[in-house]
Amino acid sequence: MKKFNLFLTLLLFAHFGVAQQLAPTIVADSLYAASLENKVEENPTRSILVYLPPGYEENPAKRYPVVYYLHGFTSSDSTNLNWFATDKKLEIAYEMNKIRPFILVVPNQHTLYKGSFYTNSSLTGNWADFTAINLVSYIDSKYRTIPNRDSRGVCGWSMGGHGAIKMGMFYPDVFSSAYAMSPAMLTLCCDWGANNMGFKDAQEIQKREALFDQGFEGTAMVALGRAFSPNPNNPPFYADMPFSWERDTLLTHYDVLKKWYKNLPYDMLDSYAENFSKLNAFKIDWGKHDEFQYLPITCRMFSEKLEALGIEHDAEEYIGTHSSNLWTPDGRMINDVFPFFDRYLEFE
């Protein structure tokens, strides 16, 4: 019995030791970027969470590939950790051998109106440049990365999926592979088209807090307007909208709508097809039962347009909603996204 108890103790100790080795180290970092200087009180110093792989400190000569995760609208680097227990899910991924050790970076792009849409804006700052240039340069200089595009990937969910696609379009020399999960606002369509009541809320509500209280849609439209069609002479939100209402009549402002189309990934694709085709790999996925009706439709449209342009990619519609099975142990990040980057990124 004593021998059995000793054996059990050693077994538990060994298991605990392995578990400890699989736990990533979370570094709370920050970065000031001149590219984010602005006149509307957005903070140009951004917090960053860096997840260092097990063994990082014990192997000072070893270098690692990097995956940049772009969070969704209303979220941030810290809420992603709190909502999804990112460190615990990484531990599970390592334990299940879903991916070899790598560095995960989550930058904070939560703005005064809850999201940057990873877009360069003359009003709020150059958030795309910050992500692909300032942030990547900083991470490569401070952490033991493999500092080349073939060891660098980008992924994101919802607004972050929108951002991951833009990173692939603008910076294929920085990122070699991209994965977009349920990417938001690929184009204006259906329930998120001209008749979305968010445009009316943005027109009628004059204060930020009241806009937040009214609901999600008006805040999102203002955030999009500040990113896509900023106007410093149009208070209180300093953005023009492509649609407005005159009593019960919907008006279309085609000069503004043109600016939005220049920033919506589906409509941008013709202009950036050559860039996008330089990616080593791209995947897009979405839930069949997404609460946003436009999203499955626009994801299919985007995939079909890639196919028509001869751009190789993977596309998958799965049984799920906008956020179901995302960071769960049986979910997309662990079982689809991490293996994707394990397959396509170059490890040391």
In a shared domain, residues 122 and 239: no
* Per-residue model confidence (pLDDT) at position 248: 85
* Per-residue model confidence (pLDDT) at position 325: 87
In a shared domain, residues 170 and 294: yes
In a shared domain, residues 244 and 290: no
Whether residue 59 is contained in a domain is answered as yes
* Per-residue model confidence (pLDDT) at position 21: 64
Whether residue 295 is contained in a domain is answered as yes
In a shared domain, residues 175 and 218: no
In a shared domain, residues 80 and 228: no
Q: Is pTM beyond 0.95 here?
A: no
In a shared domain, residues 270 and 248: no
Dihedral (Cα; 321, 113, 38, 184), 10-degree rounding: 20
Owning domain of residue 224: 197-257
In a shared domain, residues 182 and 282: yes
SS3 sequence, the chain?
CHHHHHHHHHHHHHHHHHHHHHCCEEEEEEEECHHHCCCCCCCCEEEEEEEECCCCCCCCCCCECEEEEECCCCCCHHHHHHHHCHHHHHHHHHHCCCCCCCEEEEECCCCCCCCCCCCEECCCEEHHHHHHHHHHHHHHHHCCECCCHHHEEEEEECHHHHHHHHHHHHCCCCCCEEEEECCCCCCCECCECCCCHHHHHHHHCCCHHHHHHHCHHHHHHHHHHHHHCECCCCCCCCECCCEEEECCEEEECHHHHHHHHCCCHHHHHHHHHHHHCCCCEEEEEEECCCCCCHHHHHHHHHHHHHHHCCCCCEEEEECCCCCCCCCCCCCHHHHHHHHHHHHHCCCC
* Per-residue model confidence (pLDDT) at position 6: 40
Identify the segments of the chain with pLDDT beneath 50.
1-20
Whether residue 105 is contained in a domain is answered as yes
CATH code (residue 64): 3.40.50.1820
In a shared domain, residues 164 and 211: no
In a shared domain, residues 181 and 203: no
Number of domains in the chain: 2
